Structures are given as C-alpha cells and as structure tokens.
Amino acid sequence: MGDNRSVASEFMRGITKDNPTFGLVLGLCPTLAVTTSVENGIGMAAGTLFVLVGSNMLVSLLRKEIPDSVRIPIELIVIATFVSIVDMGMEAFTPDIYAALGVYIPLIVVNCIVIGRAEAYALKNGVFYSIVDAFGIGTGFLLVLMLLGGIRELLGTGGIKLFGVQLVDFVSMLGYNPIGVMTLSSGAFLTIAVLMTIVNYRKILKAMKGG
C-alpha cells in the first residue's frame, strides 16, 4: 500500500468498489435473510458493523503476534467473542429485533465479510486504517441492507415502519395492494437479482464507453 491513501478514500472504498454485496459478493446469507424490513436490516448491519470494527481492531493489534499457520482459528475466536457480545447485547436492549433476526445473529461468526476483512486487510495494515476500513465496509453493508429492506418492505407490506413510526403508507394513501411474496424468500432473490442486473448493466455501459 502506498502513502497516497486518505481516510476518506479508504472509507468510501467500502461503499463503492469493495461494497460487500455488489463488489465483493460476500456475506449473502444475512443480506437476503433478514431484509424483510428496513428495521431488521439496520439491526443486522449494526451488529455486523460492531463485530467488524472489533475484530479488525483486535486482529490488527495482534497481527505481529499471530503465527501464520494458526491465524484462521485465532481470527474465528476473536470474531466469535465479539458476536457473543452482540448476541447478548441485542437480546438485552432490542428484544424485538433480536427475536426477528433469530439464528442469523450468531451466524455473523461465519459471515464471510468479517473474516474476509480480517484476512485481507487487518492482517496487513495498521490499527487506524483497519478501523477505517471496517467502518467503510460496515457502512456499505448497512446501505445495501437498507436498500433491500426498503424495497421489500415497501412492495411487500405497502409501507415502511421504522422503530414504531409509520413513515410511508401506500395502502391508505394510494390504495396500493401489497405483494406478499416480496417478504418471502422468493422476493429476496428477485430483488437482489434485479439490483445486480442494474449494476452489471451500468458496468457494461461504462466499459463500452471506455473502449
């Protein structure tokens, strides 16, 4: 890594080029499973962000002490510790979201984004930039989950409800008829497939203009 990186560019890289879902295509299980509503998406992304920052920080601090041959078990234990903290914290403070997310909270342990960043970034970089990277990737994840959750909640239930406040309600405003399947598993696949098609289409257009 050269010295020409800046905090802002390292942060933005997690949202654009190395975006967990559309750039790196990692951590798809929670992305699809919990985005039945914006609120669940935010809960999941906040948990993942906390784990990412914690594990990137600790792995980066320990990077000179960790022997190369056992680095994956060590990373897994570091991550599992932070996941347990999130698990217990969410159960205590946000029981509704905890009940909705269920088994997917402990499954942050095997989220490829977290271990992927520990492997690819925190083992090679200093503490400060590792934390910046974690915040960038976590924010990218949050934006994707909010987008997916927003689309699915809006089409599936006809409105968006955030922390007990009804923000939009198309059912009473426009007489919209909710498409229930959007909150089921098929809706998740449909939403992500269409979004990825749009991303690919833009990449192809860009390549055609460039070449």
What is the binding site for another protein (CB under 8 A)?
Answer: 25-30, 32-33, 72-73, 76-77, 80-81, 83-84, 87-88, 102-103, 106-107, 109-112, 115, 181, 184-186, 188-190, 192-193, 196-197, 200-201, 204
For the bound state, the minimum distance from the C-beta of residue 186 to another protein, rounded and expressed in Å, comes to: 5
For the bound state, the minimum distance from the C-beta of residue 139 to another protein, rounded and expressed in Å, comes to: 22
Q: What span, in angstroms and rounded, lies between the C-alpha atoms of 15 and 23? A: 9
Nearer Cβ to another protein, position 163 or 189? 189
For the bound state, the minimum distance from the C-beta of residue 17 to another protein, rounded and expressed in Å, comes to: 16
Nearer Cβ to another protein, position 128 or 189? 189
Q: What is the dihedral of CA 200, 18, 67, 126, to 10 degrees?
A: 170
Contact between 96 and 160 under an 8 Å Cβ cutoff? The reply is no
For the bound state, the minimum distance from the C-beta of residue 34 to another protein, rounded and expressed in Å, comes to: 9
The DSSP-derived string for 100-153 is: HHGGGTGGGGG-HHHHHHIIIIITTS-HHHHHHHHHHHHHHHHHHHHHHHHHHH
For the bound state, the minimum distance from the C-beta of residue 63 to another protein, rounded and expressed in Å, comes to: 20
Task: Report DSSP state, residue 24.
Answer: S
Nearer Cβ to another protein, position 70 or 165? 70
Q: What span, in angstroms and rounded, lies between the C-alpha atoms of 25 and 76? A: 20
Nearer Cβ to another protein, position 24 or 42? 24
Distance of CA 58 to the CA centre of its chain: 20
Nearer Cβ to another protein, position 21 or 157? 21
| Distance from the first to the final alpha carbon of the chain | 28
